[in-house]
Structure 1
Amino acid sequence: MSRSLRRGALAATAIVISIASLSACGAGNDAQTLGVRPDNAAVTVDDVQIQNALVITQPEAGAEGPAVVSATVFNNGRDPQTLESVTLPGTSAKVTLKAAQGSGPVTVPAGGSVVIGGKGNASATIENGREAAKNGATQKIVFKLSKTGDVQLSAFVVPATSYFKDFGPTEIPKPPAATPTGTATPTGTATPGHGATTPGHGAEATATATPTGEASHSAGH
């Protein structure tokens, strides 16, 4: 191969590598996003999209205490919407919604989103979480929005461990205090020392020797 052809081949190789690197970088961002995002429930209805929906229970299996619904609600419309309620069909669970700040409603801004769950975000607390959801199962969730109406999907039920620890219930019940297994009893009855309850031998002799009048009278007689 001539020197000019060799230079041309090297230049072409460099261009191909550059394009491949840029393509990999662009694809890599999407791939990385898909890689770190849990494969959780997602649904789109009209202008509303809900992603990464989960029911997150207490970190300890069987622990009493609330569970939470965690999700990201997107509003692709031109008008804000209010998240009016979150319900769990098929259960008697009550879900309490709370905005990230203040006591107002949870509002999803136009062209924006609201994260439910996690520190500093809006919350959806399931009061009787243990009865409402079982780890490893799926649970239907209905998000009711002011304009779109009901948006339903099925979500996984997971404990607040590993990736989900920071999005789980903020109220973690304390373990019950340890109770003694038996009552301590004395192994014997303490008895006072010999000199404490009864006079010593010398004291007793003095006491009996004092009234000696009668004995002296007999001796003198």
Structure 2
Amino acid sequence: MSRSLRRGALAASAIVVSIASLSACAAGNDAQTLGVRPDNAATSVGELKLQNVNVITQPDGAAGPAVISATIFNNGTAPQTLDSIAVKGYDGKVALHAAKGGGPITLPPQGKVVLGGKGNASAVLADGSAAATDGNAQLVTFSFSDAGEVPLRAFVVPATSYFEGFGPSSIPATPKPKPSPKETPAGEASNTASPNPGDAASATTGATTGTTGN
């Protein structure tokens, strides 16, 4: 191959690489080919984005409370509050607690709130076994002060492996078996044995004789 043809081939290769790079840039960070979808439930409504939404139950299917874990982003310029969470099929109330203080869970502008895990806000279901079954995709509806209701299906998982640190903080202890009553060995005298009947009779006779002599 001549020197001129070699230069032409190299130039053509450079042009192809440049076009491919420009195409990727034009597609943006949200392009399907570049996006990585999380394994957990996620959705976005307006300025809010919810990621990694799960209903986490007790390990080994034990009875007790369950929690909802999620990361909520507020990309807006004004704060919003998380007013309530409803789980389909669960009649009880989901108790919401801010990370600090007793006020509502507030989403700061250009910030985020994490539900679940040590030191974070929490959403607790008192009876996890009645709320969801492990392996299901449960309909969970978040209600916000401005965005309104945001429904999505969240995976139900036990508080094991990766989810152990985000699960319920109140895990019932395994009851210990009650010790059986001790049996008195055969032939061992009891400490509460009644006095000898003969001694009692002698004492009674002596008391009677002394009274008669007077």
Give the TM-score normalised by structure 2: 0.70
Instruction: Map 1:68-147; keep pairs closer than 5 Å.
Output: 68-147=67-146
How far 1:34 moved relative to its partner? 4.1
C-alpha distance in structure 2 between counterparts of 1:94 and 1:78, whole Å? 30
Shift >2 Å, 4+ stretches:
37-44
Match of 1:57 in 2: 57
Matches within 5 A, 1:167-182: 167-180=166-179, 182=180
Aligned to 2:164, what secondary structure does the other structure show? helix
State the superposition RMSD in angstroms. Answer: 3.5
The corresponding residue for 2:183 is 185
Measure the CA separation in 1 of the matches of 2:94 and 2:40: 24
8 A Cα contact 2:40 2:154, kept in partner: no
Could you tell me which runs of 5 or more consecutive residues in structure 1 were left unpaired when the two chains were aligned. Answer: 3-22, 192-221
Task: Give the conservation status (yes or no) of the 8 Å contact 2:41–2:152.
Answer: no
Distance in 2 separating the partners of 1:190 and 1:47: 81
Asked if 2 retains the 8 angstrom alpha-carbon contact of 1:74 and 1:113, the reply is yes
User: Counterpart of 1:42?
Assistant: 43
The structure that has the greater radius of gyration is 1
Q: Deviations over 1:6-58 (max 9, x none)?
A: xxxxxxxxxxxxxxxxx9xxx9xxx9x948x54334343x2111111000011
Alignment match, 2:160? 161
The alpha carbon displacement at 1:125 in A equals 0.6
Give 1:64 deviation, angstroms: 2.1
Question: % of aligned pairs identical?
Answer: 47
2:60 aligned counterpart, secondary structure: coil
Q: Deviations over 1:119-173 (max 9, x none)?
A: 1111001111111111111111111000010000010100011111111111111
Could you state the TM-score of these two structures normalised by the residue count of structure 1?
0.68
Q: SS at 2:130's partner residue?
A: helix
Deviations 1:160-196 (A, max 9, x none): 111111111111111112223x4332241236xxxxx
- Pair 59,34 (structure 1): closer, same or farther in 2 beyond 3 Å: farther
**Residues 98, 105 of structure 2: 8 Å contact kept:** yes
The 2-side partners of 1:43 and 1:124 are apart by 20
How many Å separate the matches in 1 of 2:120 and 2:137? 24
Q: Secondary structure at the match of 1:82?
A: strand
TM alignment of 1:1-20, pairs within 5 A = none
Q: Structure 2: where are the runs of 5+ without partners? A: 3-23, 190-214
